[in-house]
Amino acid sequence: MKRGRRSFDPRHHWQQTQVRLLVGGLAVVGIIGGGLVWLLYGRAAAITTWLCLLGGASVLGLLWMVLGLLEWWVKEDEP
């Protein structure tokens, strides 16, 4: 008896892989890096580190959103 197999969607796989890599990378930098700063320099330095990382991530997220909007705008004009 055949089970209902979904076909492989490379676009979905690529998107899922990108999200996992992004979340994993941020977790490593935030948790491991922030934890090491906490151990070596104390709580105040760790909080400053996390605030700087959050600020940098915010700038990158804003840039990603602007580029996504531009991509959507350009694709809207295509026939």
Q: How many residues does the chain have?
A: 79
* pLDDT mean over 65-78: 89
Tokens coding 73: 């705008």
* pLDDT mean over 34-57: 94
pLDDT, position 3: 65
58 pLDDT band, cuts 50/70/90, is very high
* pLDDT mean over 44-49: 95
- Whether pTM > 0.75 for this model: the answer is no
* pLDDT mean over 36-56: 94
Every domain of the chain and the residues it spans:
24-77
What single string gives the DSSP state of each residue in the chain? ----PPPP-HHHHHHHHHHHHHHHHHHIIIIIIHHHHHHHH-HHHHHHHHHHHHHHHHHHHHHHHHHHHHHHHHHHH--
Angle at 46 between CA 43 and CA 51, to 5 degrees: 125
